[in-house]
A and B are shown apart, each in its own frame.
Chain A
């Protein structure tokens, strides 16, 4: 049936073959050019895959790590953090703090311009901080600057901040990634403009933001630090699904991805052309115990719980070795940290049982653990369940979605049903004050802050206040060393571990860093031949 054309094919069959051939050639013939290797898009373009999209590009109004990461590429602050979380000068070349920690004076770098040509001067700095601390603007990071009572322009390159009360940690607040300086001309264009556009003084200029797709930044040739940056373009893409993000790195679509989920680190380390970047975070993982209710009211019970958990097993099995046990309530890298018990709280089942017995719980007890529902948290919960069973404690696991968890954790004391809570904290200012006070001061009981252990110790409260009353770092360090010991022995938490942040880097890519607070730093991004 049908007219025979040639070689025994009917016309219909020939047509089909031709069609398939053309389609095939179109789709697969151009295999190589369709691979979006970073270098094909123009000189020195880096593609970065991160776990979420930015929320807003206005630094004083953002809280999420992704937005802060992007803002850090385009904006500078008076001071900032190195990839190792040490203070470094940015727009300020030097500064002085008064002895009473109430006055902070900054000397600005001369001849710096914003990306739109506006000059940087003390007036521009004043404008930024006045905007941030004005309660009428209702900016999200108001609390970083609310203690400032006035900002004064001493001269074009000198600006002075006066605080209402002494606040020794203030310098770290200025280094916080949200405390960035925006061009006054951009601020004048209104809130909507700066939420979607960035005009700063940093190494990269803002090109575009297509929500959900990508943020494009280009090199600032007039950057105040000569020789930086090396890369011409940065393309930052949100890839929510972990496995897809890893695929992006492995296929060459990305130069840098963060984070790599624990389960895939081995696969990435074995792949060719990529390496795993491991950097210690300043995030402390712990399980809080409700110190105001039985059974955790008794410090012996809390200490027993610490003895009952094998931190090394958790580090090796649950965290695959990419962690270390906590040896203090905060972590190395935090200014003011000092170790209390080297190696972490010892694992001693016998001692745990003894203490429980002394406290009247020889038969053990039942309790509930609240946590989020990510895989690693579930595994941690199960590990703890097994370990606590050995000392007679029956642990019920109650994993929840983030919003629900947040809602029940922050209920005021009278309504709060917390028993044990798997949580953690990292101080975004890198300072011991913010590492400890929001978690352990009695003024920080929910809903005010995150003291979900409902811990209350007047000695500790007094120490926190004393450490804020001075800007003398040596003095502050001593106070924090002492108060850490008190907190450790009071054991309001089961002190778990401090982990490493893991990123994937394509060979030849450099200057891309994970920061200890879970944001990233791309200011010195560079691409060299692999």
Chain B
């Protein structure tokens, strides 16, 4: 993991500095004189050669210090910490909702294949995947917040402010999970050992829960892991629409100002999250599938 993270940090650093745009100039404002801009550059350490800046970055990062945000001057660790909680909360609520809904719908579709509920659910899934999160989010706000006042229009203020953003995010994930669960389950249901169990006289429900689903879970678990990884990367659009102060929201704010320390740290965090999730998924495989053995 460490070599990968190193590579990511180097790549992110190089890439960010290559993008046009001077953070000092952006911070100082169009109002600023050249002296103002130079003062900001010197304060941020931007007047040093690139490789020196990178060397300082790595040395400090290894000690856990990711520098200070160019924009606010606050330590990057503190900034990321403040925004990680909201993203985690939103991601967990969304993935929970998506898994329950998606797997429920997908199972229903597989069990009652080619029936009316199946077709209706397919329509639902396609709608969920193709509706842009931006549109869905605003639609939900205008219907459930402005028109009937059931939920707040945005911000993070307790459980009821979590509902609309979580539903918006869950929609697309649930749709994908449903499709996957359906096809994976259908595949498993066609296997010989399922037919054997039914022939033995095992009740349909028990076959479904104990045998089919468990085996169908493997590809679904990978998918859920991937989805969770994406969500942890901060659902930028949903966080912006709902003013949910998570990592995605932070990312957009920081890019506009070329806040290199925050951006680099966020990219590293996202990479770490993905790598960790991959690890967890691999371990889950072993738990789920007795055929999988790690050397």
Contact = CB atoms under 8 A, between A and B. Distances in A.
Interface of A: 27-28, 31-32, 34-36, 52-53, 55-56, 61, 63-64, 135, 138-143, 146, 191-192, 195-196, 210-214, 237-241, 243-244, 247-248, 250-253, 401-404, 406-408, 410, 425, 428, 438, 447-450
A240 B33 contact: no
Nearest to B71: A55
Contacts of A212: 82-83, 86, 245-246, 249-250
Contacts, number: 160
Query: Which of B22, B39, B155 has the largest count of A CB atoms less than 10 A from its CB?
Result: B155
Interface in B176-224: none
B74 A195 contact: yes
Interface stretch (B56-64, B118-126, B143-151): B143-151
A234 B79 CA distance: 24
A55 B72 contact: yes
Interface stretch (B23-31, B92-100, B274-282): B23-31
A192 B152 contact: no
8 contacts: A35-B152, A36-B157, A63-B32, A143-B32, A211-B79, A211-B82, A212-B82, A408-B20
B36 A248 contact: no
Contacts of A447: 34, 37
Interface of B: 19-22, 25-37, 39-40, 42-43, 71-74, 79, 82-83, 86, 138, 141-142, 145-146, 148-157, 160, 163, 240-243, 245-246, 249-250, 252-253, 256-258
Contacts of B33: 143, 448-449
A240 B243 contact: yes
A-B residue pairs, 6 tightest by C-beta: A212-B245, A403-B21, A63-B29, A138-B43, A35-B149, A407-B20
A146 B33 CA distance: 11
A138 B40 contact: yes
Contact of B72 (A28, A56, A240, A243): A56
A235 B258 CA distance: 28
Contacts of B27: 63, 140
Contacts of B36: 140-143
A140 B249 contact: no
B24 to A, nearest CB: 10
Given A63-B32, A438-B31, A239 B82 contact: no
B145 A404 contact: no
A27 B144 CA distance: 12
Contact of A237 (B138, B146, B155, B241): B155
A253 B152 contact: yes
Contacts of A63: 27-29, 31-32
Contacts of A402: 26, 256
Query: Which of A27, A61, A238, A403 has the largest count of B CB atoms less than 10 A from its CB?
Result: A403
A445 to B, nearest CB: 10
A244 B240 CA distance: 9
B146 A140 contact: no
Contacts of B256: 401-403
A425 B20 CA distance: 23
B146 A250 contact: yes
Given A34-B149, A140-B29, 17 more contacts: A27-B163, A56-B72, A64-B29, A135-B39, A138-B42, A139-B39, A142-B36, A143-B32, A214-B155, A237-B243, A240-B240, A243-B138, A244-B154, A247-B138, A247-B141, A247-B153, A449-B34
A36 B158 CA distance: 12
A406 B32 contact: no
Contacts of B243: 237-241, 244
Contacts of B258: 403
A214 B155 CA distance: 9
Query: Which of B25, B32, B258 has the largest count of A CB atoms less than 10 A from its CB?
Result: B32
Given A36-B152, A244-B154, A448-B33, A403 B26 contact: yes
A448 B150 CA distance: 53
Query: Which of A191, A213, A251 has the largest count of B CB atoms less than 10 A from its CB?
Result: A251
A210 B86 CA distance: 12
A442 B36 CA distance: 18
A52 B28 CA distance: 17
A24 B27 CA distance: 49
A31 B150 contact: yes
Nearest to A239: B243
Nearest to B82: A211
Contacts of A141: 36
A141 B241 CA distance: 33
B199 to A, nearest CB: 20
Contact of A56 (B31, B73, B150, B257): B73
A251 B149 CA distance: 7
Contact of A251 (B40, B146, B163, B242): B146
A406 B71 CA distance: 17
Contacts of B160: 34
A165 B220 CA distance: 73
Contact of A142 (B29, B35, B252): B35
B10 to A, nearest CB: 22
A263 to B, nearest CB: 13
Contacts of A239: 154-155, 243
A140 B151 contact: no
Contacts of A191: 73
Contacts of A32: 149
B89 to A, nearest CB: 13
Nearest to B141: A247
Contacts of A140: 27-29, 32, 36, 39-40
Contacts of A438: 31
Contacts of A143: 32-33, 35-36
Contacts of A238: 243
A404 B21 contact: yes
Contacts of B145: 247, 251, 253
Query: Which of B72, B74, B142 has the largest count of A CB atoms less than 10 A from its CB?
Result: B72
A112 B39 CA distance: 34
B16 to A, nearest CB: 11
A425 B31 CA distance: 9
A135 B156 CA distance: 40
Contact of B150 (A34, A243, A407, A410): A34
A374 to B, nearest CB: 12
A240 B249 contact: yes
A406 B40 contact: no
A237 B79 CA distance: 18
